[in-house]
């Protein structure tokens, strides 16, 4: 079977969100972080993606399972469910997409605990496998998926803790002596604070969140010979919602994100033996050790460590809590990737459901993420119940 074709499949699934369309000419040292199952980091919903991919401390909603599981217990409704769809890399291909299903449940509106779950399915479309002569052998449909179950609990009226546990499967093609489906387990741990504060004569809502995501095992595609890190990360966020009057509100949010994976070694000036030894050490690092050393292992020291932090800022304007207009900006240092873009979005909410859409506008040339659209539809179970009465 064509080795080159299978290698392309693996690299596409492993690396494209972090390194797609990179232009090294204006980078003094291009050294992006590398992980397996990068689809775990894709923003699933139109609300947060419309605000520059913020979500650690924004108001709780049905999508909190991805951003911060601790927020679920602060949802106003007793239960909710949402589904979203994202055509991915649509400027390059037309058959890569992600579907996401998420939900939460509380026994009552004032209950101090909540349960949550989600399902993520990322399809890499159809890829034709050929032999060395270029003759078609078969067509495969590689995919990545993750199933989550979680819970959150209030420790006070303004603070909560949440956790979720995740099963991950990444199948890049048919099992052979070269390529096997990968399986992994991971967990998220989140903390959330929200409290009302007075700003002038207005009672505003301040939120703060801290999330550790995708902490778990490694994943292998070659029967354990090489083990790839999951995209473990630390996210810290804050959000401030200000009511301008009885009908209009505006919120501002900021997220800082740091991957908890070791930085690849700089092998440019190494001999073949030194390079192999450095790569063996890198791939042999345990997930826990890798997370701890991710704060101090960059080849260029503190300067490069700071370059590994991404920034997201976003704003949301709401009229009567029914019509929403959103905007944001996401920045990743050019030495670590090409994700620099503006986002815009809109939403419409009725008693029982909410529709949302977002659009990504790249600020760098030849970015495969440019023009990414997301669509979301969520249902409030309390609202549906009221409609049926």
Q: Given this model, what pLDDT does residue 103 score?
A: 96
CATH number of the domain residue 75 falls in = 2.40.160.40
Per the structure, the complete domain to which residue 133 belongs is given by 3-388
Q: Could you give phi then psi for residue 23, rounded to 5 degrees?
A: -110, 110
Q: What is the mean pLDDT of residues 148-175?
A: 92
Reported as a single tens digit per residue, the pLDDT across 162-179 is 999 999 999 877 655 567
Highest mean pLDDT among 77-81, 186-190, 225-229, 259-263: 186-190
> Is the pLDDT confidence value at 372 over 60?
yes
Confidence check: pLDDT of 341 > 50: yes
- Between 240 and 141, whose confidence is greater? 240
CA distance 63 to 257: 18
Q: How many domains does the chain have?
A: 1
Quick one: which of 167, 145, 135, 139 has its CA closest to 44?
A: 145
The contacts of residue 372 (CB under 8 Å, 6+ apart) are: 86, 87, 88, 89, 90, 359, 360
- Beta bridge pairs of residue 209: 192, 237
Tens digits of residue pLDDT in 32-89: 888 889 999 999 999 999 999 999 999 999 999 999 999 999 998 999 999 999 998 8
Kindly indicate the confidence band of residue 134, based on its pLDDT and cuts at 50, 70 and 90: low
What ranges in the chain are assigned the alpha helix state H? 3-19, 46-50, 64-67, 272-283, 287-293, 302-307, 381-388
Among candidate residues 81, 68, 55, the one with its CA nearest the CA of residue 251: 55
Mean pLDDT lowest among 72-86, 181-195, 276-290: 276-290
pLDDT at 131: 59
Give the residue from 212, 69, 202, 43 showing the smallest Cα distance to 122: 43
pLDDT at site 18 = 43
């Amino acid at each position: 079977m064509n080795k080159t074709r299978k290698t392309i499949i693996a690299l596409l699934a492993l690396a494209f969100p972090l390194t797609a369309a990179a232009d090294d000419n204006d980078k003094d040292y291009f050294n992006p972080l590398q992980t397996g199952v990068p689809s775990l980091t894709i923003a699933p919903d139109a609300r947060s993606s419309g605000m520059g991919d913020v979500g650690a401390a924004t108001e709780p909603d049905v999508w909190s399972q991805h951003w911060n599981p601790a927020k679920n217990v602060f949802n106003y409704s007793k239960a909710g469910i949402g589904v979203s769809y994202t055509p991915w890399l649509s400027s390059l291909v037309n058959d890569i997409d992600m579907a996401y299903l998420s939900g939460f449940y509380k026994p009552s509106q004032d209950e101090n605990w909540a349960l949550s779950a989600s399902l993520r399915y990322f399809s890499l479309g159809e890829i034709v496998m050929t032999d060395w002569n270029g003759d078609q052998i078969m067509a495969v449909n590689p995919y990545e998926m993750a199933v989550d179950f979680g819970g959150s609990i209030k420790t006070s009226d303004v603070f909560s803790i949440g956790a979720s546990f995740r099963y991950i499967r990444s199948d890049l093609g048919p099992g052979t002596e070269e390529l096997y489906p990968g399986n992994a387990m991971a967990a998220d741990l989140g903390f959330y604070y929200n409290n009302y504060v007075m700003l002038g004569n207005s009672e505003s809502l301040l939120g703060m969140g801290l999330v550790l995501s995708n902490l778990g095992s490694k994943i292998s595609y070659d029967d354990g010979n090489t083990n790839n890190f999951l995209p473990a990360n630390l996210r810290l966020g804050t959000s401030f919602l200000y009511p301008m009057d009885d009908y209009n509100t505006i919120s501002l949010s900021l997220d800082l994100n740091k991957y908890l994976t070791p930085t690849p070694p700089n092998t440019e000036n190494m001999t073949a033996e030194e390079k192999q030894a450095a790569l063996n050490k890198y791939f042999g690092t345990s997930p826990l050790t890798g997370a701890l050393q991710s704060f101090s292992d960059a080849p260029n020291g503190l300067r490069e460590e700071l370059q590994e932090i991404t920034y997201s800022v976003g704003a949301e304007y709401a009229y009567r809590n029914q019509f929403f207009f959103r905007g944001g900006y996401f920045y990743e240092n050019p030495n670590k990737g090409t994700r620099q873009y503006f986002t815009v979005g809109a939403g419409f909410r009725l008693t029982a459901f909410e529709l949302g859409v977002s659009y990504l506008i790249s600020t760098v040339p030849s970015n495969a993420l440019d023009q990414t659209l997301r669509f979301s539809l969520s249902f409030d179970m309390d609202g549906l119940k009221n409609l049926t009465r």
